[in-house]
């Protein structure tokens, strides 16, 4: 009986503390999520998501294109089958920041475009912006 009360107390204490011993979301998990959100936004033609989820050259492109021009570009990409489908994220290499640089990552993925029959390797360059990984190229 005493053991059951003690175990119950430990469980209650851990729950009240927020379970801080449980592992958080890793950078690798957040990178995978960012890649998934980016490719979903590409597939869906979601310009707002592409603007908020990108950095570097991609952020410049999506930030500088008008809604009308993006719609035409998106329609042409859908028609040509050039929007990639990510089949797997195979490797992730994170490079920690050395002040004042930004933490970056390179992810190697296996992807297939709509018109491709065979999967092919591709890379994503990402940068950490606060707590969010953004796709830069």
Q: Are 107 and 31 in contact (CB under 8 A)?
A: yes
Domain 25-135 has CATH 2.40.128: no
Among residues 51, 44, 96, 49, the alpha carbon closest in space to that of 71 is found at: 44
Domain ranges of the chain: 25-135
Q: Which strand ranges, in their side-by-side order, compose the sheet holding 84-95?
A: 84-95, 104-113, 120-129, 132-135
pLDDT 10s digits, 58-99? 999 999 999 999 999 999 999 988 888 899 999 999 998 776
Asked if residues 108 and 77 have their Cβ atoms less than 8 Å apart, the reply is no
Q: What local confidence, expressed as pLDDT, does residue 15 receive? A: 28
Question: What is the reported pTM?
Answer: 0.77
Instruction: Tell me if 71 sits within 8 A of 90, measured CB to CB.
Output: no
Taking 70 as the threshold, does the pLDDT of residue 20 lie above it? Answer: no
Q: What confidence tens digit (pLDDT) does each residue in 109-119 have? A: 999 876 667 89
Q: CA-to-CA distance for 133 and 92, rounded, in angstroms?
A: 12
Q: Give the pLDDT confidence score for residue 24 in this predicted structure.
A: 64
Are the CB atoms for 28 and 92 separated by under 8 Å? yes
Indicate the burial class of 92 (C-beta count within 10 angstroms; 0-12, 13-18, 19 or more): buried
Looking at residue 101, what is its pLDDT? 77
Distance of CA 122 to the CA centre of its chain: 15
| pLDDT value at 28 more than 50 | yes
Rounded distance between C-alpha atoms, residue 129 and residue 31, angstroms: 12
């Amino acid at each position: 009986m005493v053991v059951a009360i003690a175990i119950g107390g430990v469980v209650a204490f851990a729950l009240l503390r927020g379970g801080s011993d449980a592992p958080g979301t890793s950078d690798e998990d957040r990178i995978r999520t960012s890649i998934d959100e980016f490719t979903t936004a590409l597939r869906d033609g979601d310009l707002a998501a592409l603007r908020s989820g990108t950095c570097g050259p991609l952020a410049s492109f999506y930030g500088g294109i008008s809604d009308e021009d993006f719609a035409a570009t998106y329609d042409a990409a859908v028609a040509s089958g050039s929007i990639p489908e990510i089949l797997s994220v195979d490797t992730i290499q994170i490079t920690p920041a050395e002040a004042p640089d930004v933490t970056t990552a390179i992810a190697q993925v296996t992807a297939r475009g709509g018109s491709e029959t065979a999967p092919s390797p591709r890379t994503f360059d990402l940068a950490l912006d606060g707590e969010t990984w953004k796709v830069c190229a």
